[in-house]
Amino acid sequence: MIVVIDFGSQYNQLIARRVREQKVYCQIEPPDIEIKQLQDLNPEGIILSGGPASIYEKNSPKVSEAIFDLGIPVLGICYGMQFMVHALGGNVSKAHKREYGFARLRIQNPDPLMEGIEESARCWMSHGDAITELPEGFVTTAVTENTAMAAVADYKRQFYGLQFHPEVEHTPGGKQMLKNFLFSVCGCTAGWTMKSFAKNAVAEIRNAVGDKQVILGLSGGVDSSVAAMLIHQAIGRQLTCIFVDNGLLRQDEGARLKKLFGQHLKMNIDYVNAGKQFTDALKGVTDPEKKRKIIGKVFMDVFEAEARKIKDAEFLAQGTLYPDIIESQSAFGGPTSIIKSHHNVGGLPKKMKLKLIEPLKFLFKDEVRKLGKTLGLPEELVWRQPFPGPGLAIRIIGEVTRKRLSVLRKVDAILLEEIRAAGYYKKVWQSFAVLLPIKSVGVMGDKRTYENIVALRAVTSVDAMTADWAKLPHKLLGTISNRIINEVNGVNRVVYDISSKPPSTIEWE
Ligand code: XMP
């Protein structure tokens, strides 16, 4: 395995992804990791990531210099390389010219890292400091027009440094360099697959749980579904999945999930039909944040009441993913401004004193999808679009009533059916409908109508932090609109949302 020390680069998750793509397991650790902890991980190589700081800044991040005495190969990238050079007795100073963007590499010395890299390959630079003097034992292996020491190496100690970023697409040879580091320098073997991950995880879960009971809140989303599959494989019916149907789900969703997990996958499903509790609590509420808070609270109450019924429950399982862990452990903070209170209820009140099991906490989203596939989760669930915890309640602008829920459900089902049929379900990040609180005049037959308006929303995105409105074909939009107006009583107008995030958000509330 490889350890990446996180010096705060925006690319550090990308480094981990690149390593894992080579079927080598990789973990990101903060710079303040204890040397003993690091040794216990038994890494075959260490990568020091880039970062925004300058090595001479007072509070610049530092990892224990004892890592250079472990006899483990080290690859320093950008700030990581400057840290290494500085720690080993070299010199780093402000570059004459800040370098940002493409540069051409000229390889000067044959180097295992540069094996197979074209002469004058492009690389991506982003730095204000540069090395001015190398530590003893190091040589320059490549230069660029502006950077005299763009790549450096100490072959004897197996230390390598790159001033540019091999992990980004803009460095076409970067993938090869990382491969060279993993396989030629560190001697890793490519054996980490989702199958091997699942095998280990199953053994670990069995070991941790023993004969106790585990509770999991199943939402039907990809993460909780895959976590449930994995844990079920490990401990079978010692796992109880509590599935709270809040009455705010899409058409037939509750029944479908119950059937799939309960009958088809033979899991222990505790299905709670709590729709009335939620709609009662939402009566008269129009404020989006109030809706979220109420839904979060009712969920907690219902979930806790169910959980208390399960005897010998000692563990609570959650589908936490790696980016959440990295962000919370990072000394440099993740996205901090909360625009909407995404409650994503997972935790039970502390008084229940359940121990946490988070079997996906080292996986990225696409790895979770692969794992789901490996475990035999149906395609439709593996590729399910994200669906917010408060469900359709935040897609009904204004008060949520049973009647309005029923209208939106029908509209939403038509939209999804057509999006799927046209092959756009996987191409867009999310696609859904929003029921507006205003009415408009229409004409049907010879009669004047005065009915609801729905807005269709489809966006493309990689992580929901930013999103672009999806350029769906006009013909498809036309078909969806026609079907909605013809088939759903109470809707006489359909509009398409053409705003991107930012400044809009994906959901309307
Ligand atoms: P926004 O609307 O903030 O949404 O651009 C970003 C992503 O988060 C989802 N979302 C939520 N998910 N609880 C959730 O579990 C919520 O309250 C919530 N609000 C928004 C949204 O669907 C999108 O994927």
Residue 130, burial from CB neighbour count under 10 angstroms (0-12, 13-18, 19+): buried
pLDDT at position 329 is 65
What is the 8-class DSSP label of residue 426?
T
Q: Is the CB of 464 under 6 A from ligand 1?
A: yes
pLDDT at position 351 is 64
Mutate to test the pocket of ligand 1, among 340, 460, 468 (most ligand atoms within 8 A of CB): 340
CATH superfamily for 194-382 is HUPs (3.40.50.620)
Instruction: Yes or no: say if 186 and 172 are a contact pair by the CB < 8 Å rule.
Output: no
Instruction: Yes or no: say if 368 and 360 are a contact pair by the CB < 8 Å rule.
Output: yes
For residue 508, give the ligand 1 atom closest to its CA.
2
- CA proximity to 298, closest of 248, 235, 371, 239: 248
For residue 430, give the ligand 1 atom closest to its CA.
24
Q: pTM score > 0.90 for this model?
A: no
Q: In what order do the strands lie in the sheet with 313-317?
A: 268-273, 239-245, 213-217, 313-317, 355-357
Residue 357 three-state SS: strand
- CA dihedral for 62, 65, 71, 77, sign (positive or negative): positive
Q: What's the token pair of residue 393?
A: 């309640």
- CA proximity to 509, closest of 219, 281, 295: 295
Separation CA 383–CA 371 (nearest Å): 12
Residues of the chain with CATH 3.40.50.620: 194-382
Q: C-alpha distances in angstroms, 489 versus 253, 326, 411, 446?
A: 21, 48, 10, 16
User: Could you tell me which residues are beta bridge partners of residue 460?
Assistant: 468
Q: Is the CB of 505 under 6 A from ligand 1?
A: yes
Q: What's the token pair of residue 343?
A: 């409650």
Q: Is the CB of 293 under 6 A from ligand 1?
A: no
- CA proximity to 357, closest of 198, 453, 216: 216
Q: What's the token pair of residue 152?
A: 């450096």
Q: What value, to the nearest 5°, has the Cα angle with vertex 207 and ends 204 and 209?
A: 105
User: Could you tell me which residues are beta bridge partners of residue 357?
Assistant: 317
How close is the Cα of 191 to the center of ligand 1, in Å?
36
- Sequence-distant (≥ 6) Cβ neighbours of residue 140 within 8 angstroms: 108, 109, 134, 148, 149, 150, 151, 152
For strand 213-217 and strand 159-162, is the pairing parallel, antiparallel, or unpaired?
A: unpaired
What is the architecture of the domain spanning 396-496? Answer: 2-Layer Sandwich (3.30)
Instruction: Yes or no: say if 348 and 310 are a contact pair by the CB < 8 Å rule.
Output: no
Provide the strand spans (E) within 330-412: 355-357
For strand 91-104 and strand 122-133, is the pairing parallel, antiparallel, or unpaired?
A: antiparallel
pLDDT at position 345 is 42
- CA dihedral for 215, 220, 221, 222, sign (positive or negative): positive
Instruction: Yes or no: say if 317 and 215 are a contact pair by the CB < 8 Å rule.
Output: yes
Residues of the chain with CATH 3.40.50.880: 2-185
Percent helix, strand, coil in the chain, to 5, is: 35, 25, 40
Whether cis (ω within 30° of 0) applies to the bond prior to 503 is: yes
User: What is the amino acid identity at position 54?
Assistant: S
Angle, helices 222-235 vs 365-374, to 10°: value is: 40
163-220, pLDDT tens digit by residue? 999 999 889 999 999 999 999 999 999 999 999 999 999 999 999 999 999 999 999 9
Long-range Cβ pairs for the range 469-475 (8 Å, 24+) = 469/497, 469/498, 469/499, 469/500, 470/424, 470/427, 470/428, 470/431, 472/419, 472/424, 472/428, 472/496, 473/422
Q: What's the token pair of residue 389?
A: 């915890």
Instruction: Yes or no: say if 125 and 133 are a contact pair by the CB < 8 Å rule.
Output: no
| Residue ID of nearest Cα to ligand 1 atom 14 | 388
What fold is seen in the domain 2-185?
Answer: Rossmann fold (3.40.50)
| DSSP output for 229-286 | HHHHHHHGGGEEEEEEE-S-SPTTHHHHHIIIIIIIS--EEEEEE-HHHHHHHTTT--
pLDDT at position 350 is 65
Q: Is 219 a known ligand-binding residue?
A: yes
Q: What's the token pair of residue 274?
A: 């709590």
How close is the Cα of 355 to the center of ligand 1, in Å?
27
Task: Round to the nearest angstrom and report the end-to-end CA distance of the chain.
Answer: 43
- Sequence-distant (≥ 6) Cβ neighbours of residue 56 within 8 angstroms: 92, 129
Instruction: Yes or no: say if 46 and 33 are a contact pair by the CB < 8 Å rule.
Output: no
ipTM exceeding the 0.95 mark: yes
Low-confidence stretches of the chain (pLDDT beneath 70): 327-351
- What residues are annotated to the active site? 78, 165, 167
Q: What's the token pair of residue 334?
A: 């993740």
For residue 386, give the ligand 1 atom closest to its CA.
24
Q: Is 491 a known ligand-binding residue?
A: no
117-128, pLDDT tens digit by residue? 988 889 999 888
For residue 389, give the ligand 1 atom closest to its CA.
15
Instruction: Yes or no: say if 45 and 21 are a contact pair by the CB < 8 Å rule.
Output: no
Residues of the chain with CATH 3.30.300.10: 396-496
| Residue ID of nearest Cα to ligand 1 atom 12 | 388
